[in-house]
Structure 1
Amino acid sequence: MSGDITTSNGQRIGLSVPLEGVPLGTHGELMAEWKSLGYTDLWSSEGNETDAFTPLVVAACSAPGLHLGTAIVPVFSRGPAVLAQSAASLAELAPGRFTLGLGSSSHLIAELWNAATFEQPYERMRSTLLFLHDAFEGKSIDGDYGAFRVGMYKLGLLPAEPPRILIAALREKMLRLSGTDADGAILTWVTASDVSRMAPFVRESGDDKQIVTRIWVAPTEDTEAAHWIGRRLTAVFLNSPALRASQEWLGRGPMLSEAWRRWDEGNFKASAAAIPVELLDELVVSGTPQDVHRRVDEYRANGVDVPVMALIPVRDVDLIDAARQYAPIS
């Protein structure tokens, strides 16, 4: 596990990449510009568009010095050895600055998209962490890790500094695992006040455990436009099984019961409309750049080490311009 790396002022702030609708091939110059505007981190994701690693390779080559991270790579979509090799390659490109963020993902992504069996996600995560620690230590591996067995394997590329490993965590059990078996947690779809409840589980194993949080940002002062896109995005995510369980654990079952009921009836529009505006404004940040950075600071104050802004497409807003306007130095 690598040691802490911070900027000169001790604060980090990230941007989620790639920007939606912006060709990946044009991101190299943009990433170098973002570095000059005060962004310290670039964090990727993985759904049905780019994979999590390729945008960070572009960043490592185009904007040396930035912290890079995956948020997240599903543990069910790659074999253990391929996962170790991909992480080691990026750790060599960005020595001491790459973080491997892992997540258990979902039945949809694991089974319907990747022909895997989505069973015992907690055990699969724990087994993956144990394997990766052994692989990054250069061990010759031939053994059972619980959820899988790996034989006759030794990682051939050992970076000078192995990547920090964080895991996506939504409830108590995985939050605790992020502290005991990893270097910390990645949070998403949480309010700033939620972080105050979740962070202590992560840091039971030490105050040095890192917390990264993706913060959804509608880059506009048009409240109506922010609510329009925010409702649609929130409805899709908060109705997924894992995030529904997380919101219930956080105590928002009664608040979201109508939205969930409408979703289960197959009425997406009514489900989105039933999300309370006060929750929407907490989960999808909007307003002036100053408004957004004040909200980001609330996350920091409640325990987030690296806030990562995910810019949401809003009508009549150019996301490239928005990344400039909402930058730490603008």
Structure 2
Amino acid sequence: MLIDTLLLAPPAQVPARAEALAATGVDGLFTFEGPHDVFLPLALAAAATDAFVYSNIAVAFPRSPVHLAHTAWDLQALSGGRAALGLGTQVRAHVERRYGATWSHPASRMREWIGAIRAVWDAWEEGRPLDYVGRFTSHTLMTPAFDPGPVEGGRPPIWIGALGLRMTELAVAEADGLLVHPFTSDRHAAETTFPRIAQGLADAGRDRAELTVVGQAILACGRDAEEQRTADEGARWLVGFYGSTPAYEPVMATEGRADLHPELRRLSREGRWDEMAALVDDDLLDAVVVRGDPDRVAARLLERAGGRVDRLAVYAPGGIADEALAAVVAGVRAGAPA
């Protein structure tokens, strides 16, 4: 099981931060659609380290499949074959109101984005005429001036972020990998997520080895009481944010906390973020977040994901010292099955 962590820093600080994170022993670095561009840090990290790099996730629909094809191709070339393109749908409000793009039929659209990106890559890699015509996007022109040709290391894999049934089925059937959503619990992963993956593979006639499964976990890791308090505060805020989103309500229901979702949603609409965090008690925090000192966190990660995933992506919204992250990585590796 490979271990990856979040790369988050202002652009000028990314190379140094990437080097520091790589020194903790992680195998990969990922970014997300946060306060900075999702792809630029990956290019800087690929040039500064030997880590595997990927977007986790890049929001697909505001971007043309051709834009995504070019970015992933160049990142694969820059990294020497150490890159993946992680895509997600995001929720409707953000796609329409933040990005000014179109959101509809998310699973069907994502299927076309995957197909269109691959059609572009076929044109570059194999010289095929570009002729992808779909319901939501069409691409029928690729002249030599815009064709970079094959990429060393081969085309990068496409990984899809998923939580619900339809996106999980799509990712398992069509994509090269599945990014399990970090807002989960041991019970939801065991009772819902992993059975869906197994059933999806069977339905699609695919072998498990054909799909990269990237498990994810929110960490609240402290080496003393003060560090733990700070880590818990950051995690509590994030759980409140996720818990207010309708798409993630099933996780709350699995843990018997479906009644909390409407209140969190109401507070989110009113912009009362601090009050949302205050509603996340320790029981809910323990169910969703992997908490404790580095030894405890490593043991909990193995309980949740050991033997079930190919990569494990971890991040700590309340912060984690590099020394603590290194200890977690070492602990997971020491306890993981060969």
Q: Taking structure 1 as the reference length, what is the TM-score of the superposition? A: 0.84
Aligned to 2:184: 190
Q: Within 5 Å, give how 1:41-120 maps onto structure 2.
A: 41-47=28-34, 49-64=35-50, 66-120=51-105
1:203-230 alpha-carbon deviations (Å, 9 max, x no partner)? 4132111111331112324354443332
Contact 1:186 1:212 in 2 (8 A): yes
- Out of 257, 262, 265, the position equivalent to 1:263 is 265
- Out of 194, 208, 219, the position equivalent to 1:217 is 219
Aligned to 2:119: 134
Contact 1:192 1:302 in 2 (8 A): no
Aligned to 1:227: 232
Identity of aligned pairs, percent?
Answer: 22
- SS of 2:90 mapped into structure 1: coil
Contact 2:76 2:156 in 1 (8 A): yes
Give, as a single letter, the amino acid of the residue that structure 2 aligns with 1:56: L
Aligned to 1:247: 251
Question: Partners in 2 of 1:52 and 1:270 — Cα distance?
Answer: 29
The higher-RCO structure (CA 8 Å, 6+ apart) is 1
Contact 1:140 1:153 in 2 (8 A): yes
Contact 1:91 1:162 in 2 (8 A): yes
Aligned to 2:336: none
2:287 is the counterpart of 1:282:
yes
- SS of 2:298 mapped into structure 1: helix
Question: Partners in 2 of 1:151 and 1:137 — Cα distance?
Answer: 13
Contact 2:7 2:17 in 1 (8 A): no
- Out of 13, 27, 32, the position equivalent to 2:3 is 13
More helix per residue = 2
Aligned to 1:8: none
Aligned to 2:147: 156
- Out of 289, 301, 314, the position equivalent to 1:309 is 314
Give the C-alpha shift of residue 261 in structure 1.
Answer: 2.7
1:112-160 alpha-carbon deviations (Å, 9 max, x no partner)? 1221111111111010011112122223223322221222136623323
- SS of 2:312 mapped into structure 1: strand
Question: Partners in 1 of 2:246 and 2:151 — Cα distance?
Answer: 37
Contact 1:103 1:167 in 2 (8 A): yes
Give, as a single letter, the amino acid of the residue that structure 2 aligns with 1:227: D
Give the C-alpha shift of residue 89 in structure 1.
Answer: 0.6
Contact 2:24 2:322 in 1 (8 A): no
Give the C-alpha shift of residue 176 in structure 1.
Answer: 1.3
2:223 is the counterpart of 1:207:
no
Question: Partners in 1 of 2:30 and 2:116 — Cα distance?
Answer: 23
- Out of 158, 161, 164, the position equivalent to 1:168 is 161
Contact 2:187 2:254 in 1 (8 A): no
- SS of 1:43 mapped into structure 2: strand
- SS of 1:141 mapped into structure 2: coil
Segments of 5+ residues of structure 2 without an aligned counterpart are 334-338
1:154-186 alpha-carbon deviations (Å, 9 max, x no partner)? 662332311111101111211111111101211
Question: Partners in 2 of 1:281 and 1:324 — Cα distance?
Answer: 22
Q: Go from structure 1 to structure 2 and tell me whether the alpha carbon gap of 1:269 and 1:34 turns closer, same or farther (over 3 Å shift).
A: closer
Q: After the TM superposition, which segments of 4 or more aligned residues of structure 1 sit over 6 Å from their partners? A: none
Q: Taking structure 2 as the reference length, what is the TM-score of the superposition? A: 0.82
- SS of 1:126 mapped into structure 2: helix
Segments of 5+ residues of structure 1 without an aligned counterpart are 1-10
Q: Go from structure 1 to structure 2 and tell me whether the alpha carbon gap of 1:262 and 1:279 turns closer, same or farther (over 3 Å shift).
A: closer
- SS of 2:85 mapped into structure 1: strand
- SS of 2:313 mapped into structure 1: strand
Q: Go from structure 1 to structure 2 and tell me whether the alpha carbon gap of 1:133 and 1:291 turns closer, same or farther (over 3 Å shift).
A: same
Contact 1:76 1:104 in 2 (8 A): yes
- Out of 106, 110, 127, the position equivalent to 1:121 is 106
Q: Go from structure 1 to structure 2 and tell me whether the alpha carbon gap of 1:26 and 1:322 turns closer, same or farther (over 3 Å shift).
A: farther
Give the C-alpha shift of residue 87 in structure 1.
Answer: 0.7
Give, as a single letter, the amino acid of the residue that structure 1 aligns with 2:139: V
**How many pairs were matched up?**
309
Contact 2:295 2:327 in 1 (8 A): no
Aligned to 1:6: none
Q: CA RMSD in A?
A: 2.5
Give, as a single letter, the amino acid of the residue that structure 1 aligns with 2:159: L
